[in-house]
Amino acid sequence: MEETYLLNVEGVKKKILHGGRGELPKLQDGSKFTFHFQTLKDDFERTVIDDSREAGMPMEIIVGKMFKLEIWETLLSSMRIGEVAEFWCDIIHTGMYALVSRGMRRIAEGQDPLEGQKHRCGMGNMFDYHSTGYDDLDELQRTPQPLIFIMELFRVEDPSAYKRDTWAMSKEEKLAAVPVLHSEGNRLVLRREFAQAAAKYQEAVICLRNLQAKEKPWEDGWLKLESLVTPLVLNYCQCQLELGEYYEVLEHTTELLQKHNDNAKAYFKRAKAHAAVWNEREAREDFQRVAHLDPSMAAAVKKELKQLGERMRKKHVEDRKRYQGLFQSSQG
């Protein structure tokens, strides 16, 4: 099918490379597209910018959820299941591509796609970036240009047919999801499935943080959500302690204590993490803060300090033996 099809959209041309099957899917707000895509420059070499197959995961977008590259929803809406199509899109549709690509690449690399962003509209965010962190995307930001998208549509699902991703939920759905996720996390902890439990707590925190982003910090709405976040973060940290992820515990408890410097449980978990990585002074300071803030935890603190002292003495003896051995071998 070499004929070029012009969509009824300014600045877009479509060429069907492989015909799909059936009728055009019936879409509604919340329908989910799953597809692979390639993004190419409109140059002689048709330089590939992104390829979801190389990244190892298909792309998903939700109808009506303000995806930053709005034209993609239009393109996919013109496709049948199984269809492969090539779309040429003019500059008026591609200005946000660098920002979208940055987020997709960070997800593929296992990083937070929103790290460093301010809670503003997409165009506002564009001005916050001096660099995307990727040379080719920086070039696209400096010199906007037409792009070619090759898309293969796998499936279209109704909102009721899939588990809603956190970011795609409404405010009410997020609030309803939090106690469910909290309960699921607790159940998994009882089964000592700490990694899975941590994932549940983390998902609940993300729901609440997304809602907090729309509130003014330290005002009533924000504080109410923060009161729900704190125990979830503490539960998450407990799972990480069980998994031996001590530096992650240090990071999250320190962040929590910057906002709530009277939280004895956060100090206690941070103290245990410090003790695990041999930060003796910091561990002792945190344990002492715990006993001061919550006298009911004094017995637990005493037990932890005793264990810490024994571990440090044992470590000093082992270190001394090791150094003596090194010294003797160097003398020999």
pLDDT tens string 123-139: 344 344 457 788 889 88
Q: Is the Cβ–Cβ distance between 155 and 20 less than 8 Å?
A: no
The packing angle between helices 264-276 and 220-243, to 10°, is: 30
The torsion angles phi and psi of 58, rounded to 5 degrees, stand at: -70, 165
With 0-12 / 13-18 / 19 or more C-beta atoms within 10 angstroms meaning exposed / middle / buried, residue 197 is: buried
Indicate the pLDDT class of residue 210, thresholds 50, 70 and 90. confident
pLDDT digits (tens, 9 = 90+) for 289-318: 999 999 999 999 999 999 988 988 888 887
Cβ-Cβ contacts under 8 Å for 139 (sequence gap 6 or more): none
Average pLDDT (216-233) is 92
Return d(Cα 187, Cα 20) in angstroms, integer: 44
Say yes or no to pLDDT of 234 above 90: yes
pLDDT score, position 111: 56
Average pLDDT (233-257) is 94
- % residues pLDDT > 90 (the chain): 50
Average pLDDT (148-163) is 84
Average pLDDT (197-207) is 90
pLDDT score, position 244: 93
Say yes or no to pLDDT of 250 above 70: yes
For the chain, the domains span 4-157, 171-311
User: Which has more pLDDT, 1 or 39?
Assistant: 39
Cβ-Cβ contacts under 8 Å for 117 (sequence gap 6 or more): 125, 128
Q: List alpha helices for the chain, DSSP H.
A: 52-55, 71-77, 91-94, 97-108, 122-128, 135-142, 171-190, 194-212, 220-243, 246-259, 264-276, 280-293, 298-331
Measuring CA to CA, which residue among 19, 3, 37 is closest to residue 80? 19
Return d(Cα 162, Cα 31) in angstroms, integer: 9
Rounded to two decimals, the pTM is: 0.53
Indicate the pLDDT class of residue 168, thresholds 50, 70 and 90. low
Q: Is the Cβ–Cβ distance between 171 and 207 less than 8 Å?
A: no
Indicate the pLDDT class of residue 109, thresholds 50, 70 and 90. low
Return the CATH architecture of domain 171-311: Alpha Horseshoe (1.25)
pLDDT score, position 175: 85
Q: Is the Cβ–Cβ distance between 264 and 293 less than 8 Å?
A: yes
Topology annotation, domain 4-157: Chitinase A; domain 3 (3.10.50)
